[in-house]
Chains A and B, each alone.
Chain A
Amino acid sequence: MILDSAAHVPEPLRSALRDFLMALADDELLLGHRNSEWTGHAPILEEDIAFSNLAQDEIGHALAWFTLAHELGAPPPDRAAFFRDAPDFRNATLVELPKDDWAFTIVRQYLFDAAEQVRYAALALSAYRPMADTVAKLRSEETYHIMHSRGWVQRLGDATEESHRRMQTALERAWPHALGLFEPVEGEALLVEAGIKAGEASLRDQWLAQVKPILEGATLSMPAGAPLHSGGRVGRHTDHLADLLNDMQMVARLEPEATW
């Protein structure tokens, strides 16, 4: 059954959908923030521009998801972004990790972009109409993200001994957290049954099928037996999230009633 608007979504599906939208928004917001840390610091000017653009896009996408969550009873976007504490965030831990070196930034971005390709293709068929409509727009922008990050993975994977080593180290470090992108939110079963989203296990398999040939083509070895780092989707985060929020929310919290 197609659900045309927030008014058509009954409980308990409503809460499940709201939590899932918050997870999508939190992923975008925090990766956008991490991307913005390269503004003025990227290794070459082109990438300074690229990562500033990516930051702007991802934060714009976060706003789109926060807006849909707000229609289902979540706080307004600015409150959601700047006045929640770490345990209330539902992002995968991948996006809260510090930006580290350029290799880690590129590997994280690629693994995330590829996951979004798969996730958004499935959400384009969502029974929740506002979600399918939003994703139609976001997908057209994501085309550029994946082209960019995939190109860098292919170039750095086998460019020099040092670039290969750094990329392999980054891949091994990012991998357990990237698997955490596919940790289901509470209420996953309800959402899948209602046709709102695809199951996370099937999305993960599609993602693996997509990233494996690219990584191996770049002469990188797939991390074997890497454990899954989950917990982000239920609010269990690394200490890095509190540090990130301290930075990101500081100004808004200094003067909560200020208008910008």
Chain B
Amino acid sequence: MNTLTAQDIWTALDDVKDPEIPIVSLVEMGIVRDVNLSAERAVVTITPTFVGCPALIPMREAIVERVRALGVEDVRIVTRLNPPWTTEWIDDAARAKLKAFGLAPPPHHQGVIDILLIQAAACPTCGSRDTVLDNLFGPTPCRALHYCNTCRQSFERFKPM
């Protein structure tokens, strides 16, 4: 008999992409924190990147739909805020994909996020570090705007959180 395991759900959730960055999955982004499977139901615990992120609603729907496709009827999503989501949870494979997508990956940090950390960005196109911070805010809550003086292109970087 084929028995579904929590690991099967983890694997399936790796198909669910971030709606705003459709090259990385919710698992790679560290948004899916826990999967609990019992005889009656599956409970998926997620930690949002930003509380006001509009992508949260489609993310929840996509998770429920994907787990239901495995044959589990009762799928529940639990939102956990603490510990808060941090860019340190984005794995190396996902960082490489972000860069290939043209979005500079977030810098590593030890929990201290200041202006110097934010200003020092490498251009995802040419690799130059001769860049300036244009705006702490960007087209989505998780991105800041930078400009590369070497290749003269503006670029976005995932904000360190």
Name A's B-contacting residues (CB within 8 A).
46, 49-50, 52-54, 56-61, 63-64, 132-134, 136-141, 143-144, 147-148
Q: Which residues of the partner chain B approach A141 to less than 8 Å between Cβ atoms?
A: 50-51, 141, 161
- Binding stretch for chain A, among B13-21, B37-45, B64-72, B80-88: B80-88
Query: What CA separation (Å) do A138 and B134 show in the bound complex?
Result: 24
Q: Is the interface of A mostly helix, strand, loop or mixed?
A: helix
Query: Other than the known A49-B138, A63-B52, what 11 A-B pairs have Cβ atoms closer than 8 Å?
Result: A46-B145, A56-B52, A63-B51, A132-B82, A133-B81, A137-B84, A140-B85, A141-B51, A144-B137, A147-B118, A148-B137
Given the interface pairs A144-B159, A147-B115, the reply to whether A50 lies near B136 with Cβ below 8 Å is: yes
Query: What CA separation (Å) do A54 and B85 show in the bound complex?
Result: 19
Proximity bits, B71-111, A CB within 8 Å = 1, else 0: 00000000011111110000000000000000000000000
Work out how many contacts link A and B, with CB atoms closer than 8 A: 71
Query: What CA separation (Å) do A38 and B53 show in the bound complex?
Result: 19
Q: Which residue of B lies closest to A150 (CB)?
A: B115
Query: What CA separation (Å) do A138 and B161 show in the bound complex?
Result: 11
Q: Which residue of B lies closest to A129 (CB)?
A: B82
Number of chain B interface residues as a range: 20 to 34
Given the interface pairs A143-B113, A144-B159, A147-B115, the reply to whether A49 lies near B52 with Cβ below 8 Å is: no
Query: What CA separation (Å) do A63 and B86 show in the bound complex?
Result: 21
Q: Are A137 and B81 in contact (CB under 8 A)?
A: yes
List 11 contacting pairs A-B, 8 Å CB cutoff, sorted by A.
A46-B137, A49-B145, A53-B138, A57-B52, A60-B50, A63-B51, A134-B82, A136-B81, A140-B84, A140-B86, A147-B136
Query: What CA separation (Å) do A50 and B136 show in the bound complex?
Result: 7
Given the interface pairs A140-B84, A140-B86, the reply to whether A64 lies near B51 with Cβ below 8 Å is: yes
Instruction: Say which residue of B51, B113, B138 sits within 8 Å of A57 (CB atoms).
Output: B51
